[in-house]
Structure formats: C-alpha cells, structure tokens
Amino acid sequence: MRSTVAIFIKQLQDTFKNMAVLVQFFVFPGMAFIMTRFVGVEMEGMSDEFFISMFASMFIGMTLISSPAVAIAEDRDNNSLRFLMMSGVKSHQYLMGISGVYMLCALLIGGMFTAMMPELLLSQRLIILASLMLGGVASTLLGAIIGLLSKNGQAATSIGTAVGMFLGFGPMIGMFNERVRRIFSIFYTQNFIFDDFDNITRRLIVILVNIAVLMIVFMFAYGKKRD
C-alpha cells in the first residue's frame, strides 16, 4: 500500500507540472460546452447531447490512453520503473499508483460532461459517469501496456496517439456508418451509455470484457519487463 501511495503522489506531482497534459484534460469538455451552447445540433435524429457524448468518448479514448503511455515510457527511460521492479513493487501496485491519478482526472472531467446534461435524471447521469469511468479503466490499462512495450517515450507518444485516435474517432464515424459501427461494437469506446438506459447490460459486459483482457495483457507486459 505504501508503494502505491508513493507512486500515486509522484505521478500526481508530475501531471500537475506538465501543462501540455493538463490542457489535454480540459480541451474536450471545453469543446463540448462551446459546441453545445453556441452551435447546437439541427440534424435529424441527433440528440441535444450529441457533442457531449462525442467529446466524452474522445476524451476517454484518446487522452486517457496517450497520457499514461507517455508517463510509463518516461519512467522506463529514466530507469525509475526498473528501480521500482528491483524494489519488489508488484504489477498491481504500480498500476494502481499510476492509474489512480488518471482515474481521478476521469472522474472530474466525466462529472463536467454529465453536468452539461441537466435535462437527464440524476440516476441517468450517474449511469453515464459510471460507464465513462469503466472506460477510463480500460484506456488507462491500454496506455500502460503501450508505455511498457514501446521502445522509448517518443514511440509511446506516437503509438498512444494513433491508438487513441482509432478508438476515439471510431465511435463518431460509426454514428454515420453502420458497417463501422458494427466493427467498433467490440470495443469499449463504442459502448458508453449515453441513451437507451433500459438496455445497458450488454454494453457494460463489453466494457468489462475489454478491461479483463487488457488487465491480463498488462500483467504479462509488466512481468516481461521484470525478467
């Protein structure tokens, strides 16, 4: 527990020192607010929350992948990760310490997105927030895997950005293309719950399966770097 807290504090300090990362966290809710408030949606079949759901999915699928990927790759470049491994830090301790910071940010930003939906019931907004938080777990795991397996910090940035764009923009394209929507139906970013609150079980199962698979891959990647 002490190791987890120490890693969490270190990562929290590093995050707040990095202005580029902080900007990434707030640009998506900012864009959602501007587009919803000043542009609006006039296309037939589009809900009033169209821009909110779109930018929320992009935030979870992009920022929460690239940020931990770069952070962990930097730990590797600085030999901090090797030192932690030699000190006996387990994979779940390291993951909890690193991901705790990004999940805290996800809770804050997710709350900002749901606050833009005052016309929904409180229970519905909590369901939306819960699905986004689960997505945040999946994205953080994926980012951690990229950070562990990338050659260096620069490679982690490139790969994390590419994967984030794939998962972040995919659901948006799927709104207009049925074939794309079916392809992305297996990914967690396509299954966030913004509507259809009477049929959420399947979407939650897909997200949880994604998390389980990514957790197994992370443990394998961490063990590989430990050897």
Q: How many of the other CB atoms lie within 10 Å of CB of 169?
A: 18
Percent of the chain with pLDDT over 70: 92
Q: What share of the chain is helix, strand, coil (3-state, %, to 5)?
A: 80, 0, 20
DSSP 192: -
Average pLDDT for the chain: 83
Q: How many of the other CB atoms lie within 10 Å of CB of 148?
A: 24
Instruction: Please give the Cα distance from 180 to 175 (Å, whole number).
Output: 8
Cα 128 to chain centroid distance, Å, stands at 14
Determine the 3-state secondary structure of 47 from DSSP.
coil
Q: Residues near 62 by Cβ (< 8 Å), separated by ≥ 6?
A: 161, 164, 165, 167, 168
> How far from 132 is each of 58, 85, 99, 127, 211, CA to CA, in Å?
11, 31, 15, 9, 13
**Could you tell me the two tokens for 34?**
């501007």
Percent of the chain with pLDDT over 90: 21
Instruction: Please give the Cα distance from 14 to 9 (Å, whole number).
Output: 9
CA dihedral 89, 94, 96, 100 (to 10 degrees): 130
Q: CA torsion sign, 7 to 13 to 17 to 18?
A: positive
Confidence of residue 7 (pLDDT cuts 50, 70, 90): confident
| pLDDT tens digits, one per residue of 127-176 | 999 999 999 999 999 998 998 888 877 888 899 889 988 998 888 887 77
B/e letters for 187-213, b = 16+ CB within 10 Å, e = fewer, are bbbbbbbbeeeeeeeebbebbeebbee
Q: Measuring CA to CA, which residue among 65, 156, 73 is closest to residue 102?
A: 65
pLDDT of residue 16: 79
The answer to whether the beta carbons of residues 73 and 149 sit under 8 Å apart is no
Mean pLDDT, rounded, for 209-223: 89
